[in-house]
Amino acid sequence: MYFGADYYPEHWPRERWEQDARLMAEANLNVVRMAEFAWSKLEPEEGTYDFSWLDEAIAVLAEQGIKTVLGTPTATPPKWLMDKCPDIYMKDRFGRVRGFGSRRHYCYNNPNYHRYTKGIVAAMAEHYKDHPHVVGWQIDNEFGCQDTGQCYCEVCRGEFVRWLQGKYGSLEALNKAWGTVFWSQIYTEWDQIILPTYTVCEDSDPRFHGHNPGLLLDFFRFSSDSIVGYQKLQVDEIRGVANQPITHNLMGHFPEIDYFKLGQDLDFVSWDNYPAMPFHKSSYQSVAMAHDLMRGIKNQNFWVMEEQSGPCGWSVLGDTPAPGQIRLWTYQAVAHGADAIVYFRWRACSFGAEEYWYGILDHDGVPRRRYREIQQTGQELAQAAQVLEGAKVLADVAIVKSYDNLWSHRFQPHNAKFDYAALLYSYYNTFMANNINTDVVSIDADLGKYKLVVMPAFNLMREDIRIKLEKYVAAGGNLVLTYRSGTRDWNNSMTTETLPGPFGHLAGVEVEEFDSLNHGRTVPVTGVMGEGKAAVWCDLLNPQGAQVLATYAGQFNQGQAAITVNDFGHGKVYYVGCDLDDDSLTALMREIAKAATVQPVLPDPQIGVEVVKKEKGGKEFLVLLNHNSNPVTVPVPRGYTEVLSGEQVEDVCQLEPFGVAILT
């Protein structure tokens, strides 16, 4: 199993490299990622390449048995290039140039940038194609990071027009799809088409700005496709000469890029996991969901290319990982399908924008507590690799995530408190709270293998999706839909069908009316899940064959159906017409899972304890993770052995604070 660190030899004196390599080997590290920001060192002037220092670093590491993943350095175009071709700079929606000084200051569509990208990538690929110690490639670094998901320059406008021509074929079709008759926006020449830049109307979300929703959604799709295309350009360049596998380091829940599309051109997915950032501390459930999404992109195991290994921040610092937490985060990643862990970063840098980003070592380079924890973790993982590496997560439930839907909801969230990603997360959370493993997948996934599919607020609909879902349910599947399902067509226009639009047949309900809840207003909901409360949205349902599972108990909707279930073929379709507080949503999903014969991994879920069921070579096993800072006792069936200690587990498994158990 690969276990390593992100290493920047160019930040340290040459005399230190041997010591670093030795310390890494002593910490059981066997891989590094290097060079992803080193363009100005690799090509100090146009066409003059210098790989000597990198060759030497790779060799020093190889001496200690450490392999290298090479990053292409295109996240940081050097100053000589930007001075020569200033048109490469990205522009924001106010038309301002996003200039030199940090990173990612380039437009994904710029032809000059494409040319220079191909130059450096081809030179690297040629130089390292047969290198015995280079085991993989990372393209660029964190596409879209630092708000670089969209560029509003003239080149992008031209490319957007070409993209639209490819999609719609005629202006007539485009005008119809976008409904440009509204507010006199009918386009009569392709070149009239705008990007959604600064305009007159303001809204709570600055990205909306009163623009046409069809144009907005297409612009976000185009921007995401531009990144996918820019990545492809590099992938092709490398594949033309080299055979090592290719990845990119994604960012978990990051919303600007359709990760399902981005993953298609990669051999494997990797991602960057920082649970304790200064301005945002992730819950363990949120990290778990991000891992599951990363696994769902290619329906295959993945790497963590940057795993937090110290306190971190740019101007201020987040919490220092408590003793045991780095180990716990590592096991959480592995439990959810990581086949390699690479810690960011080997050593905190004493200069540059990330002086405060601590890694395995502090600025002084002295191994301390975090180093020893990682050393121990590496040793354990090597010992347990036979069981863990390549093992699959077993999940009977899938949550469908759609970036098209995410963007549509983001421009117009229906209610100020509505957030598509948060809704998905609230459903994900109910399964964790019920000890049920979940996959997070795209609508293109093979749904047939799941007993239960949850598609929260899937508002954009298409005919082929309707057919796919009807087949899935008719064959015995169970589907959960929610409020705001089927409200729009794929062009982001509202449907004129009675809601839930194309889902009506499946769900056996009509939405008679809805109530968007504002100013702290809540509505009691009562039914199979007990007493609950809606605080965002209520669909008032008219069953058309469906059975009522819960009703509202508010003033003007008293007794009206809120949650229903419909028999469809051999399966069932649930329509959850409102949001619910966490406890009642958890209770509802427990009932629905039970009806779908989905078994919890272990009975009696405990707060802060995660259980993941896995399989390798036909043998099932469990990983237990204690995210609490106190010890816990988890009841388990008899007959398990804990892999790390080799001990028999009788009836209960004791977990230390932040402790882990692997039970076979």
Site residues (CB under 6 A) for ligand GAL? 141-142, 145, 272, 306, 344, 354, 357
Among candidate residues 303, 245, 220, the one with its CA nearest the CA of residue 269: 303
Cβ proximity to ligand GAL, 306 vs 396, nearer residue: 306
- The catalytic position among 36, 142, 237, 470 is 142
Between CA 88 and CA 101 the distance in angstroms is: 14
d(CA 109, CA 586): 45
Residue type, 579: D
Whose Cβ is closer to ligand GAL: residue 63's or residue 354's? Answer: 354
Closest to ligand GAL by CB, 142 vs 539, is: 142
> CB of 387: closest distance to ligand GAL in angstroms?
30
Measure the CA angle with vertex 559, ends 573 and 593; round to 5°.
30
Q: Which two tokens stand for residue 591?
A: 């009932």
Quick check: is 10 catalytic? no
Q: Do residues 389 and 339 lie in contact, with contact meaning Cβ atoms separated by under 8 Å?
A: yes
Min. distance of Cβ 21 from ligand GAL in angstroms? 21
Cα torsion angle, 156, 158, 159, 161, sign:
positive
- Which tokens belong to 478? 């169970």
Amino acid found at 380: E
Q: What's the rounded Cα separation, in Å, for the pair 616 and 610?
A: 20
Tokens of 390: 């390549």
Sole residue written with tokens 């954009």:
460
Q: Hey, what amino acid is at 298?
A: K
Q: How far is CA 647 from CA 91, 334, 593, 625, 644, in A?
A: 60, 21, 33, 17, 8
Closer residue to ligand GAL in complex, CB, 352/631: 352
Q: Return the sign of the alpha-carbon dihedral for residues 405, 161, 90, 46.
A: positive
CB of 291 to ligand GAL, least distance (A): 17
Q: Which is nearer to ligand GAL, 211 or 253 (CB)?
A: 253
In whole angstroms, the minimum distance from the beta carbon of 268 to ligand GAL comes to 17
306 catalytic per annotation: yes
Buried b (16+ CB within 10 A) or exposed e, 500-534: bbbbbebbbbbbeebbebeeeeebebbbbbeebbb
Nearer to ligand GAL, 89 or 357 (CB): 357
Compute the radius of gyration of the chain from its Cα atoms: 26
- At closest approach, how far in Å is the CB of 350 from ligand GAL? 15
- From the CB of 306, what's the least distance to ligand GAL, in Å? 6
- Catalytic residue, candidates 43, 306, 373, 642: 306
**Nearest to ligand GAL of 354, 531 (CB atom):** 354
Distance in angstroms (rounded) separating the CA atoms of residues 77 and 64: 32
Chain residue whose CB lies nearest ligand GAL: 142
* Those residues with Cβ within 8 angstroms of residue 225's Cβ, 6 or more apart along the chain or in another chain: 163, 258, 261
Residue 423: CB minimum distance to ligand GAL, A = 26
Q: Pairing between strand 397-400 and 438-441? A: parallel
Q: Known catalytic residues?
A: 142, 306
